[in-house]
A and B are shown apart, each in its own frame.
Chain A
Amino acid sequence: SQQGEEDPQALSIQEGENATMNCSYKTSINNLQWYRQNSGRGLVHLILIRSNEREKHSGRLRVTLDTSKKSSSLLITASRAADTASYFCATFSGGYNKLIFGAGTRLAVHP
């Protein structure tokens, strides 16, 4: 079963707008990661937030983590057409051996 569940499943916005994706997970975590996947290609690591952090920034990305609600959000500001991709949250299970991925959010940014 999947650890993380993303919401929404799909998101369509215009260039310049912000995109927010949410992720919920089931068990306690040490950290939560966000990955990006361009159509049918490999996954690219975007950002990692540790369980003792509430917010983290990386360029146009902002990630928040609420361990009490077992949820995280990824905000992409001033989106670009090149941000079109699927975004997955992932957490470790089994002692840092297995990455468990959510179902992903498909983001489409229109010029």
Chain B
Amino acid sequence: DSGVTQTPKHLITATGQRVTLRCSPRSGDLSVYWYQQSLDQGLQFLIQYYNGEERAKGNILERFSAQQFPDLHSELNLSSLELGDSALYFCASSPYPGSDEQYFGPGTRLTVT
């Protein structure tokens, strides 16, 4: 158990809908990262937050957005969902952006039908 929690574990929704994925980092970690794992794209970095502020952006679609709240939990919002958005979404945390190791949560499996 990494100490990172993600909810929900599974999500099934229809195209065009909007969902919110939630992540609670390990106690004391200030930095949160979101990754997407799909069959065709593999594991891809989406976005990073540190202490409430966006620090780095990867291949995150404009339909996706994220934020980190004062209590350090983070939410990833996916809107206008398409079939291709079906994937495992991972959250990871680290004490600070320069940390060597990131601790990954169990992931949320999103299925868009």
List A residues at the B interface (Cβ < 8 Å). 2, 31, 33, 35, 40-45, 48, 88, 94-104
Contacts and interface: CB of A to CB of B under 8 A. Distances in A.
B48 interface: yes
**Range, interface on chain B:** 20 to 34
Interface of B is mostly: strand
Contacts, number: 59
A42 B106 contact: yes
B45 A2 contact: no
6 contacts: A40-B88, A41-B107, A43-B90, A45-B104, A96-B98, A101-B42
Contacts of A42: 2, 4, 90, 104-107
A104 B38 CA distance: 12
A44 B103 CA distance: 7
